[in-house]
Amino acid sequence: MGAHPEYLGQSDIQFGKKESLEDTAKVLGRMFDGIEYRGSNHAVVEGLAKHAGVPVWNGLTDKWHPTQMFADLLTMKEHFGYLKGLTVCFVGDGRNNVANSLTIGCLKVGINVMILAPKKLQPDVELTELAQQCAKKSGASYFITEEQSALNTVDVVYTDVWVSMGEESLYEERITLLHKYQVNQTLMDKTGKNSIFLHCLPAFHDLETTVAQKIQRQYGLSELEVSDEVFRSEASLVYDQAENRLHTIKAIMVASYYTI
Ligand code: NVA
């Protein structure tokens, strides 16, 4: 029988409502050769990995987004031809899942990381300590700032939504904190001459979605974390990045069977 995927959505699976996470993990492990979890609670993916007995891939949690990083690194490698020594700047909600994984992924391969975020949205101590350890090992630098003054050394500008899954009540607060951190052409002009723009998507760069339209009605903004101009510019490699999700997740799945 050939391999085939099975999707279990919110209404198909419980993780602790009537069946414990441990029992569900053990049952799924008997039925599938691998499990990708994309949800919110990071403890669930840890529980699955502990109990399922088959490879478990983190497809996104509230804490990390590690599979995204492989696509991001591949996109940078394709564009620049190398990784070690590049400088990536994550702009915006500097303590979200994507920022966390980007930081660790980049530092591990020797890419310098700058987090440009307001104080309230900077990474916590646990993440910072882990990042410093990775930086020490690879020789890369790790830098957190509120100021745009160091952008001239940046090769890659990366941003993500201002409000991540589960935080939908925080739009007003985030807009107040982050409107000065929008990635627009003025910000891009402060970066290195041949810099590129990356975003894990979905992005609020225009009014083509119902959520963006609602935000515009409420707060009067037609673009949030990235301007439409930058999103559609030549520097923007967001669709290469999206395509690379496909290639890298396949590689991760294959690699899992050689490492367990
Ligand atoms: N930070 C975003 C990532 C989406 C891929 C979120 O958690 O919603």
Domain range summary for the chain, segments of one domain joined by +: 1-63, 66-244
Question: Mean pLDDT of all residues in the chain?
Answer: 96
Please identify every residue annotated as catalytic: 38, 65, 68, 160, 200, 245
pTM over 0.85: yes
Q: What number of H helices and E strands is found in the chain?
A: 10, 7
Considering the four listed CATH numbers 3.40.50.2000, 1.20.1260.60, 3.40.50.300, 3.40.50.1370, the one that applies to the domain covering 66-244 is 3.40.50.1370
pLDDT more than 70, % of the chain: 98
Ligand 1 centre distance from Cα of residue 39 (Å): 10
User: Identity (one letter) of the amino acid at 34?
Assistant: G
Whether 1-63 and 66-244 share one fold: the answer is yes
pLDDT in tens, 121-139: 999 999 999 999 999 999 9
The CA distance from 145 to 52, in Å, is: 41
pLDDT in tens, 80-97: 999 999 999 999 999 999
pLDDT in tens, 170-228: 999 999 999 999 999 999 999 989 999 999 999 999 999 999 999 999 999 999 999 99
Residue 93 CB less than 6 A away from ligand 1: no
Residue 164 CB less than 6 A away from ligand 1: yes
Whether the Cβ atoms of residue 133 and residue 160 lie closer than 8 Å to each other: no
Whether the Cβ atoms of residue 59 and residue 67 lie closer than 8 Å to each other: yes
Ligand 1 centre distance from Cα of residue 255 (Å): 25
Q: Topology of 1-63 in CATH?
A: Rossmann fold (3.40.50)
Q: Give whole-number Cα distances, 224 to 44, 70, 159, in Å.
A: 31, 25, 11
pLDDT over 60 at 59, yes or no: yes
